[in-house]
């Protein structure tokens, strides 16, 4: 017998054959609880703290001054700050592109979810339109069948 299984008595003369076996009692602490919003926030906070500490170590270890030139702007910044600044600008560009794509997809989804424009209302069945008056367009006679092969 395995742990957690209930012992099923053998049917005897006074026991009906189709009586279901009693369900095994759940073990204490065996219930699995899924992730919650608070656990997700806690995980995100821990990851953020680790990243901030790593960035601070990076900036402090790369403190030598470097000359920065961008278009017509020139200046001096610590190397760590300059690299962090460039990473932040790159991330902002990626976020901007992602936001533009999300907006584009939302517009397409909204357009597809709207009911289509009503079809043009056609006039009730009308009599066939007679051909225009005027000279008839000449037509060619049907082509003659080629002679049978000899």
pLDDT at 92: 95
pLDDT (tens digit, 9 = 90+) per residue, 90-117? 999 999 999 999 999 999 998 888 776 5
pLDDT at 136: 65
Residue 58: exposed, middle, or buried by beta-carbon count in 10 A (0-12, 13-18, 19+)? middle
User: How far is it, in rounded angstroms, from Cα 69 to Cα 53?
Assistant: 28
- The domain of 64 spans 37-112
Q: Which two tokens stand for residue 89?
A: 């600008």
Task: For residue 121, tell me if it sits in a domain.
Answer: no
Task: For residue 68, tell me if it sits in a domain.
Answer: yes
Q: How many CA atoms lie within 13 A of 23 on its CB side?
A: 3
- Indicate the pLDDT class of residue 14, thresholds 50, 70 and 90: low
List beta partners, residue 69.
74
Task: For residue 67, tell me if it sits in a domain.
Answer: yes
pLDDT at 101: 96
Check if the beta carbon of residue 81 is closer than 8 Å to that of residue 59: yes
pLDDT (tens digit, 9 = 90+) per residue, 44-69? 999 999 999 998 898 888 889 999 88
User: How far is it, in rounded angstroms, from Cα 108 to Cα 57?
Assistant: 45
Q: Select the more confidently predicted residue: 124 or 64.
A: 64
Task: For residue 82, tell me if it sits in a domain.
Answer: yes
Task: For residue 117, tell me if it sits in a domain.
Answer: no
Rounded mean pLDDT of 124-149? 68
Task: For residue 51, tell me if it sits in a domain.
Answer: yes
Q: Which two tokens stand for residue 140?
A: 């060619």
Rounded mean pLDDT of 19-28? 66
Task: For residue 23, tell me if it sits in a domain.
Answer: no
Structural domains counted in the chain: 1
Cα–Cα nearest to 5, from 23, 19, 18: 23
Say whether pLDDT at 79 is over 70.
yes
Task: For residue 120, tell me if it sits in a domain.
Answer: no
């Amino acid at each position: 017998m395995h742990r957690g299984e209930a012992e099923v008595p053998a049917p005897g003369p006074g026991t009906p054959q189709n009586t279901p076996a009693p369900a095994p009692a759940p073990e204490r602490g065996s219930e699995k609880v899924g992730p919650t919003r608070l656990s997700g926030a806690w995980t995100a906070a821990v990851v953020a703290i680790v990243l901030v500490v790593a960035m601070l170590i990076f900036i402090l270890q790369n403190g030598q001054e470097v000359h920065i030139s961008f278009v017509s702007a020139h200046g001096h910044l610590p190397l760590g700050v300059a690299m962090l600044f460039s990473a932040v600008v790159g991330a902002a560009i990626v976020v901007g592109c992602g936001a533009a794509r999300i907006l584009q997809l939302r517009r397409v989804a909204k357009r597809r979810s709207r009911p289509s424009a009503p079809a043009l209302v056609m006039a009730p069945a009308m009599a066939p339109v007679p051909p225009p008056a005027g000279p008839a367009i000449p037509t060619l006679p049907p082509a003659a069948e080629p002679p049978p092969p000899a």
